[in-house]
Structure 1
Amino acid sequence: MNAAKWCFLNFGFAKTSLDDIAKRACISRTLLYKMFSNKEDIFTAVFRHWLISRHPLAKAAVTGAGTKQERLFEVCRIMLIEPWADMIGAPMAGEFYEVCERLDPEIDALHRKVALECISAIVADRTAADVFMLSLDGQIGDDPSVPVLEKRVRLLIDRFI
């Protein structure tokens, strides 16, 4: 998964070949074909693993130790900041998420649903959680560095809580 994600982020979906992924993963192309039918299957699996694997951690952060602000930041770190850190600076990062949404929009919808549930549980107000999520979406529009994104999220949390 990590080898495929690296290839997609650095070469783009169209220019990544199964040979690229196999070489990066140090496996044969034949073995790759035994695990996946095609490049779209690999891409979808990478996207699913990349986002869905975060959900248990985010749900645990909701009831974890700390103040509301600390717990909300932890959810944002897991669901937004870490994925952003994986992508930022990669040559094809912008394309990566667009292709993910196109190939499997249900994964993105599930990720947003879980994020909204976690945020709602902490702020205890569904409308405020909706507004917070929309505000989070706006924080990455100018491709900020990870430290800048963290500062923005902390500022946003301070305003909401």
Structure 2
Amino acid sequence: MNRLTADPMLSDPKAQTILESAWQAFSAYGFRKTSMDDIARGAGMSRPAVYLHFRNKEAIFTALVEAYYRQAREDIRAALEGEGTQADRVAYAFAAHGGATMEAMMSSAHGLELFEAGMSVAPEAIEAGEVALAGAYAEWLQKRDLPEAVGTAAEVAQVFCAALKGIKHTAPDYPTYRMRVSQLAALMVRALEGL
């Protein structure tokens, strides 16, 4: 099961099946060309049955965005509090920030359209999700002794998120994205250790 759609917040297995089907359809056809019939067919349901769970494909897409952010926040927290050196933990957290979803989006011929659809279909979910991810970094940074000149934990967390967003929007492919995320993690750890 795709971690994007394996959302513990959705306990209804039919809703999970719909989300999995939708992700496959969006990846294969793009957001605009995916129909509720495509999603229903992939889920092995009738279209009216899908409508019992989600009012339209925009609601399904928003649920996918929310699931991504919940999983990413959980994975970031686990990485930062996990085993290993500080460099390892930050590298794991930054990798978790995009996670398998980033690889899937960047590997899809419709990845750019899906990024754009997120901004137009689920802007509130994205905004809330970005705040949650920054909060996960800020919680961890609050346990460090940051000099006043560097800024607050919340401000440094915003820098982490902005840098990761910049990499996401400028990397031409997934291997380049992963390389740049690793480089950013190494730079940030060196900076934190030098404080």
* Pairwise same-fold verdict (TM > 0.5): yes
Q: Which digits, 9 at most, give the CA deviation of each residue in 1:49-104, with x for residues without a partner?
A: 23323322222222111222211122212221422102012122112122222222
- 1:135 pairs with 2:153: no
Tell me the equivalent position of 1:47.
65
5+ long unaligned stretches in structure 2: 1-18, 145-152, 190-195
Aligned residue pair count: 161
Amino acid at match of 2:77: K
Give me the TM-score of the superposition, normalised by structure 1.
0.85
Change (3 A) 1:14 1:112: same
Q: Bigger shift: 133-142 or 148-157?
A: 133-142
Q: Among all aligned residue pairs of Structure 1 and Structure 2, give the percentage whose two residues are the same amino acid.
A: 27
Decide which structure has the larger Cα Rg and report it: 2
Which one scores higher on RCO, CA 8 angstroms, separation ≥ 6?
1
Counterparts in 2 of 1:90 and 1:130: CA distance versus 1, 3 Å: same
Aligned partner of residue 169 in structure 2, secondary structure:
coil
Specify which of 7, 13, 26 is matched with residue 44 of structure 2.
Answer: 26
* Equivalent residue number for residue 150 of structure 1: 178
Q: Hey, what's the Cα distance between the residues in 2 that align with 1:35 and 1:109?
A: 24
Does the residue aligned with 2:60 lie in a helix, a strand or coil?
helix
Aligned to 1:159: 187
Determine the structure 1 residue equivalent to 2:31.
13
Q: Is the 8 A contact 1:61 1:75 kept in 2?
A: yes
Alignment gaps of 5+ in structure 1:
none
From the superposition, tell whether residues 85 and 39 of structure 1 become closer, same or farther in structure 2 (CA, over 3 Å): same
Kindly tell me: are residues 93 and 49 of structure 1, through their superposed partners in 2, closer, same or farther at Cα, counting changes over 3 Å? same
TM superposition score normalised by structure 2: 0.72
Counterpart pick for 2:89 among 60, 71, 83:
71
